[in-house]
Structure 1
Amino acid sequence: MRNPGSLSKWGMWRGVYGLIFVLGVVALMISIATLIRFYSLSLFLGTDNGNDSELGKTIEDVIRKINVELKELRKLSVDKLEDESRRERVRYITFLAEILTSMESMNVFHPQMDRLNWEGRGTGTEGVHPLSKTTQESDKVAEFFLVEEIRKYVKIKPNRLGRQNFMGANGTFTSIGHACFLMKKELEEFMDYDVGDFCRDDWKLAQLLMVHGCDPLPRRRCFSRAPKLYSKPFPINESLWKLPDNRNVRWSHYRCKNFACLASNRTGKGFFKCADCFNLTHHEVPRWKEIVGLDANSNSTADFLIAEVLEIKAGEIRIGLDFSVGTGTFAARMRELNVTIVSATINLGAPFNEMIALRGLVPLYLTINQRLPFFDNTLDIIHTTRFLDGWIDFQLLDFVLYDWDRVLRPGGLLWIDSFFCLHKDLEDYLDAFRMLRYRKHKWVIVPKLDKHGQEVFFLCCTREATKAILILYGV
């Protein structure tokens, strides 16, 4: 049996050697950085082939040693370690990985190494690394922020092997939304965390950034928080029309603290755009299945049924997108008809994304600021309700409609539901939809009863033989 004292002594010496190794690597990097500061990179690396070779060997040797150390650390069992020891181990591994990335980046940009001969490989001519012109610009962007995690994220990451990857790129260009620079304080707060630890419960800050144009957000290297008492979801044959378990949502940032509150008729629930959509039994069940808004005076309705819409393209509608404020009821109804719908929404005062997922449907956490993450001519149908209406800028509406037209396949459906606007703006919005040049299928205008004629819904179904069908109406 091993002596416990010898084990602790071995662990102590291992820690000492590890510290010496890290300090040595840091000293080497400082030395290299100092030399580069006082000499141009071309003079430092290009005047003496012998020195170039030695420097290249030194860098490769350091990379090899760091890789060995990382492998040893990752082999260590963490089951018996205390929480603090685990965190220290993660931080140490992360630190070494960052040094390794920096050293490999220097290795990639070394002009005398074979991996840099991108265009002149085998021809005797030297190629220029494709990232060399953009690295300085990337560094300038990184220097705008003070938090180190943002700096590391936005810098260009050259490929480790010094050649193009399978996607045809020489490196990874991580991106953030341009408005992130206008929300520097909020973004730095979002990215201020301990690597390998748990993230703060700050999804509301993330959504604030996204809605205001800091979208896409940078990735983070921390673990997202989950509900403390998560229970398994209901089976799919129950989950579509049953309120989920309250334990499966983090309620800290919502005014209501359970689904019963969200489904009730009380006011002040924290959201207004979809006030009754958590009421599955009364409000949601008849939607798109039964006509509930028939006007006795005009005998017109602001309701189209899913069955009659699908009949327009019988047997052709299989996949699509619902870009709405809702709990996934449209996707649930379509699922019953063997049509797969992805539901895009954000959490406007209530757990809409969680609700959609717990019903057994697919949520897509997406704002109106982003280009749709689908390839051209791939979707059979796009539906939207309670989202596009008289608040939207005309130019933004143009960009949105053209993007939706891009992802719809020839002969697909664009179904715009519950579009309302001021009566005086009606013609302007109609012109925006006419711009698509779809042939009309239906076109109805219905007054919004609670606004005394000042606002209207309009309903239309237009069609173009080679592209799409457009359906507009209000409820």
Structure 2
Amino acid sequence: MGSVSLKIGDGTARFQRATLCSSAVNILMIFSVITTNLFALYAFTSPKQPHHLLHHHAHKNISLISEQVSLILREIDLSQKKLAQMEKELLGYESLDLSRPNIATELKLFLTRHQLPLGKDSRTGITEMVPSVGHTCEKNSDLLSQFMSYKAFGPCPDDWSVAQKLILRGCEPLPRRRCFAKTIPKSGLFPFPDSLWKPNVRFVRAKSKNDFVVDDVLALGGGGVRIGLDIGGGSGSFAARMAERNVTVVTSTLNVDAPFSEFIAARGLFPLYLSLDHRFPFFDNVFDLVHASSGLDVGGKIEKLEFLMFDVDRVLRAGGLFWLDNFFCANEAKKQALTRLIERFGYKKLKWVVGEKVDSVGSGKPEVVLSAVLQKPIRA
């Protein structure tokens, strides 16, 4: 497994990773050993010659072998460098040079390691506090420096859009800042539960066979649903309906096209400002319910969805419910790929409905829709 570490000290933050290409290098090493042995075999099994000729040929063979070995070693070294560079370009593990003039001073201060005043901590075993930043921040160092350019202990610039650009580009988590966030007076806040503000009947009344009702799904949980996670929950309507039923739901969202986080908080609910590429900041097996709709569609290769689904499975407790709500499948192949992926987890299908709806947000055309309620099994 690879690992990423942030090394500060000489003014450079380096992201180091064990090479994924060691197998290729091993093959080259084996090839060099075989070639050397073949040359040695040739030298010792060639027809006998007079003593002076034998000495001449032996010297010539040794020189040839040495030259061949040197050539192979140079090829191995060159291949290692090429493979390492290819890996850096593919994965984004580059050097974040903090000595560059365009790097903000606050960024340099944040990335500095801080030794613990009393030395090694007996409980955790650490000796220093190491800051955390996303590994792809290097590819957006100019934007990151813009985010970290502010007056320390003064008001933060109104640059939430810069922060969101960094998050969407994989620079997550963002570094902390030493400035005061802008405060906006909020009037008209209602006490809970009046603050929930439920303008529609979604999750309460079904408009199609793919729309499941909250009470029906909770009944499948046998009364054991207390806390949940809503992935890509928009304005928090699902969390509001669950709050009516004394179920606490955390809603992950970004402020794409609207200030969703502020709106969710104004409703007295819990917004989690997080992209789908970020590992859920929760411990294993903590949620009774995970709800996701088409926001679960991360696009790209199936492997990306697999990583997300395994993280969903990680935070969902055994016996918990995974509610896949009106997931739009662009085609039959995508539905089959998603179905195969779900089946690999061994979930029990409590509800499974395939229908067709018009994707008003995406293509605007009728597409296959999958809705399901799945129960996580107990694994050894």
Q: 1:421, CA displacement in angstroms?
A: 1.6
**Alpha-carbon spacing, 1:305–1:198, altered in 2? closer, same or farther (3 Å):** same
Output aligned runs, 1:58-77, within 5 Å: none
What residue is the counterpart of 1:364 in the other structure?
Answer: 272
**Alpha-carbon spacing, 1:210–1:456, altered in 2? closer, same or farther (3 Å):** same
Task: Report the aligned-residue RMSD.
Answer: 2.3
Report if the CA contact (8 A) 2:320-2:376 is conserved.
no
Instruction: Please state if 1:378 is matched with 2:293.
Output: no
Instruction: Please state if 1:289 is matched with 2:204.
Output: yes
**Alpha-carbon spacing, 1:162–1:360, altered in 2? closer, same or farther (3 Å):** same
- In 1, the alpha carbon distance for the partners of 2:305 and 2:322 equals 14
What residue is the counterpart of 2:132 in the other structure?
Answer: 175
SS of 1:236's partner is coil
What residue is the counterpart of 2:192 in the other structure?
Answer: 236
Residues 429-464 of structure 1, C-alpha deviations (whole Å, 9 max, x = no match): 221222212132232211224679862101233445
Equivalent residue for 2:344, pick from 435, 444, 448: 435
What residue is the counterpart of 2:313 in the other structure?
Answer: 405
Instruction: Please state if 1:157 is matched with 2:66.
Output: no
- In 2, the alpha carbon distance for the partners of 1:302 and 1:150 equals 48
Question: What letter corresponds to residue 436 of structure 1 in structure 2?
Answer: F
- In 2, the alpha carbon distance for the partners of 1:286 and 1:456 equals 23
Residues 275-325 of structure 1, C-alpha deviations (whole Å, 9 max, x = no match): xxxxx52xxx311111123xxxxxxx1101111111112211111111124
Question: What letter corresponds to residue 215 of structure 1 in structure 2?
Answer: E
- In 2, the alpha carbon distance for the partners of 1:334 and 1:185 equals 42
Equivalent residue for 1:348, pick from 256, 261, 266: 256
Question: What letter corresponds to residue 418 of structure 1 in structure 2?
Answer: N
Residues 350-398 of structure 1, C-alpha deviations (whole Å, 9 max, x = no match): 1100010000111111111111111111111111124023735311110
User: Is there any run of 5+ residues in structure 2 with no aligned partner, and where?
Assistant: 1-5, 15-95
What residue is the counterpart of 1:419 in the other structure?
Answer: 327
Equivalent residue for 2:229, pick from 321, 336, 340: 321
Q: 1:420, CA displacement in angstroms?
A: 0.7
Question: What letter corresponds to residue 142 of structure 2 in structure 1?
Answer: K
SS of 2:230's partner is strand
SS of 2:353's partner is strand
What residue is the counterpart of 2:213 in the other structure?
Answer: 305
Question: What letter corresponds to residue 162 of structure 1 in structure 2?
Answer: G
- In 2, the alpha carbon distance for the partners of 1:197 and 1:453 equals 50
Report if the CA contact (8 A) 1:159-1:165 is conserved.
no
The alignment's TM-score, normalised by the length of structure 2, stands at: 0.70
Question: What letter corresponds to residue 417 of structure 1 in structure 2?
Answer: D
Output aligned runs, 1:103-182, within 5 Å: 135-136=8-9, 139-141=12-14, 143-144=97-98, 146-164=103-121, 166-182=123-139
Report if the CA contact (8 A) 2:147-2:159 is conserved.
yes
**Alpha-carbon spacing, 1:392–1:465, altered in 2? closer, same or farther (3 Å):** same
Stretch moving more, 455-464 or 404-413: 455-464
- In 1, the alpha carbon distance for the partners of 2:285 and 2:201 equals 32
- In 1, the alpha carbon distance for the partners of 2:146 and 2:112 equals 19
SS of 2:107's partner is helix
The alignment's TM-score, normalised by the length of structure 1, stands at: 0.57
SS of 1:429's partner is helix
- In 2, the alpha carbon distance for the partners of 1:404 and 1:137 equals 39
Report if the CA contact (8 A) 2:328-2:367 is conserved.
yes
Report if the CA contact (8 A) 1:421-1:456 is conserved.
yes
Question: What letter corresponds to residue 341 of structure 2 in structure 1?
Answer: A
Report if the CA contact (8 A) 2:325-2:372 is conserved.
no
Q: Which has the higher contact order (CA 8 A, sep 6+)?
A: 2
- In 2, the alpha carbon distance for the partners of 1:286 and 1:403 equals 30
What residue is the counterpart of 1:458 in the other structure?
Answer: 370
**Alpha-carbon spacing, 1:464–1:226, altered in 2? closer, same or farther (3 Å):** closer
Equivalent residue for 2:150, pick from 179, 186, 193: 193
Residues 387-439 of structure 1, C-alpha deviations (whole Å, 9 max, x = no match): 02373531111011111111111101111212112223221222122221213
Structure with the higher fraction of residues in helix conformation: 1
Equivalent residue for 1:217, pick from 174, 178, 198: 174
What residue is the counterpart of 2:67 in the other structure?
Answer: none
Question: What letter corresponds to residue 158 of structure 1 in structure 2?
Answer: Q
Question: What letter corresponds to residue 287 of structure 1 in structure 2?
Answer: R
- In 2, the alpha carbon distance for the partners of 1:388 and 1:221 equals 34
- In 2, the alpha carbon distance for the partners of 1:387 and 1:393 equals 16
Question: How many residue pairs end up in the alignment?
Answer: 286
Residues 84-110 of structure 1, C-alpha deviations (whole Å, 9 max, x = no match): xxxxxxxxxxxxxxxxxxxxxxxxxxx
Question: What letter corresponds to residue 212 of structure 1 in structure 2?
Answer: R
- In 1, the alpha carbon distance for the partners of 2:224 and 2:288 equals 8
Question: What letter corresponds to residue 154 of structure 1 in structure 2?
Answer: L
Percent identity, please: 38
SS of 2:296's partner is coil
What residue is the counterpart of 1:33 in the other structure?
Answer: none
Report if the CA contact (8 A) 2:231-2:296 is conserved.
no
Report if the CA contact (8 A) 2:358-2:366 is conserved.
no
Q: 1:135, CA displacement in angstroms?
A: 4.8
Q: 1:138, CA displacement in angstroms?
A: 7.1
- In 1, the alpha carbon distance for the partners of 2:131 and 2:181 equals 20
**Alpha-carbon spacing, 1:152–1:420, altered in 2? closer, same or farther (3 Å):** same
